[in-house]
Structure 1
């Protein structure tokens, strides 16, 4: 597995990480035993950068990772780089959320995450969503105090603007910005990627496979009732039809090269940017292995340009979240 580096500390991590959210919530039923097997296989493949958050399954996701770490003993903890997040507060059974960036909440949330993970330090701790009512100096200052106390290794931000990143970096180094980035979500290309490169901040791309839509394997009508993609605008009606036509062209591109859609989508990200780390999520070993193989692929400049053109943002239909999910996203 290729190695890339996380933040100003240049912490080595694999070129492809693992998003763990779907092991707990949002994508239909999950199975802890299957998830634990997938986590173990990830380590065998050299994927040791695991991404979680306190809101995923209302703490279940962190507890699952904590169980995985405990079962492997101290040696496993030394192998794994854990990222988690604070800031999204939800009620059980509801998708709607509020955003809390207050220093008191940050301290409380970190302690709770440490307990669930069963670790003394979270390697990378993100503000999951930004609340502009809290001064950036107060929020980042509280995160910096966690670093000084040894509870957090490095800090990051999620779904913020380039302006917010610059303001935050003036208070404390920001190791990573995590935002949605894929063939069908190109927003970070406007200014965030360049700003991250300038500041020495790693860009972590979540949903690099478009919540699996880009793989060509998802049929919205077959999704479980508790799968949040049922309410995602890009998976519905005319938008879904228009987006599926793009994916069919991606499938032709991939097939001509003996690759899967997922491998092309990940190779596109890795070939375009040396400071980007995609974190595709899966709970199945077969998909994990397929994704991991993408780290060894390189696309040519002409292939990248062709994919850029195919997935021109003007051709992608629908906003990327339902309205409730857009809360806290900066542009």
Structure 2
């Protein structure tokens, strides 16, 4: 398994694993045994970074990971875990980013994971107005580092100016953000800033939430699948976006790989400081995703891929309320 080392020294397999879908969110949850099987297979194949969150599930994702990795050598894998949003009855509660809330989230994560430390604690502000200034939140996270409960700090979907503010309080190891052939807005300002500061990247949804695989059937989505609420997957938007994906499928056929592997290889080509974290519920697709590490892209391949999806051809926002979800509309924390 190829390895990548971020500027902070954080080491990872060149492809990580996004755990969110193992406990619902995209559609119905899978049996626990199936989730454990996928995680253990990923570990056996050399995947070392597993991205989760205290609030995934809600509140069941880390328990699954804890069961899957129980008894495995802790130094052989890394957990990147978000905190911030809290759920009750499938609704987000008012955001509490106080140091005491951070401590409570970390301690709950460690309990559920059955582990002594989190490798990277990631702040997910979720666009809500916080009850404390960003600097106080980061100081609360830094306290977890000082106590040995956390090794590194990260941020998720954060405005560039907030990344700079946070980094001034404590070095930020990575920023988690959506990055794929469908989502390239981060390249304008966030990516250059992070590279200036020596911050690496976790690229989530590198397969466009399944659309870039060329295998997605909108009719097959469960009624409670959150993609049904996302503009990309609705009406004419979906038809136009799926039409764009057919070009990726054609390029993949010429390359002798799947469309998903080609899309993942493109994300992997963005730099040695980029760790894509595709997720799956299937060992079959786990193995297919890891096969992208063997796809070598030439300069012509890259040019063809970027010509296949022009910036204004992907229609619809990533989220139904993009302003509330992402850094792209400015500072996300007061």
TM > 0.5: yes
Secondary structure of 1:316 counterpart: coil
Q: CA deviation at 1:98?
A: 4.1
TM norm structure 2: 0.93
Secondary structure of 1:298 counterpart: coil
- 1:80 is matched with which residue? 77
- List per-residue Cα deviations over 1:226-260 (Å, max 9, x = no partner): 21111111011000010011100100000111110
- 2:14 is matched with which residue? 15
Q: CA deviation at 1:306?
A: 2.2
Q: CA deviation at 1:91?
A: 1.7
- 2:331 is matched with which residue? none
Q: CA deviation at 1:326?
A: 4.8
Root mean square deviation, CA, Å = 1.5
Secondary structure of 2:208 counterpart: coil
- 2:114 is matched with which residue? 118
| 1:172-211 pair list within 5 angstroms | 172-211=170-209
- List per-residue Cα deviations over 1:283-324 (Å, max 9, x = no partner): 10010001111112221222212222222221101110122x
Secondary structure of 1:157 counterpart: strand
Change (3 A) 1:326 1:117: farther
Unaligned ranges ≥5, structure 2? 329-334
**Residue 180 of structure 1 contacts residue 208 of structure 1 at CA under 8 Å; is this kept in 2?**
yes
**Residue 272 of structure 1 contacts residue 304 of structure 1 at CA under 8 Å; is this kept in 2?**
no
Q: Distance in 2 between matches of 1:163 and 1:301?
A: 33
Q: Distance in 1 between matches of 2:304 and 2:75?
A: 41
Q: Distance in 1 between matches of 2:7 and 2:63?
A: 26
Secondary structure of 2:119 counterpart: strand
Q: How many residues are paired up? A: 325
Q: Distance in 1 between matches of 2:183 and 2:232?
A: 11
Q: CA deviation at 1:92?
A: 2.5
**Residue 58 of structure 1 contacts residue 92 of structure 1 at CA under 8 Å; is this kept in 2?**
no
Q: Distance in 1 between matches of 2:10 and 2:138?
A: 21
- List per-residue Cα deviations over 1:200-226 (Å, max 9, x = no partner): 111110000011011111111221112
Does 2:130 match 1:128? no
Q: Distance in 2 between matches of 1:313 and 1:129?
A: 27
**Residue 124 of structure 1 contacts residue 152 of structure 1 at CA under 8 Å; is this kept in 2?**
yes
| 1:207-226 pair list within 5 angstroms | 207-226=205-224
Q: Distance in 1 between matches of 2:109 and 2:64?
A: 12
- 2:332 is matched with which residue? none
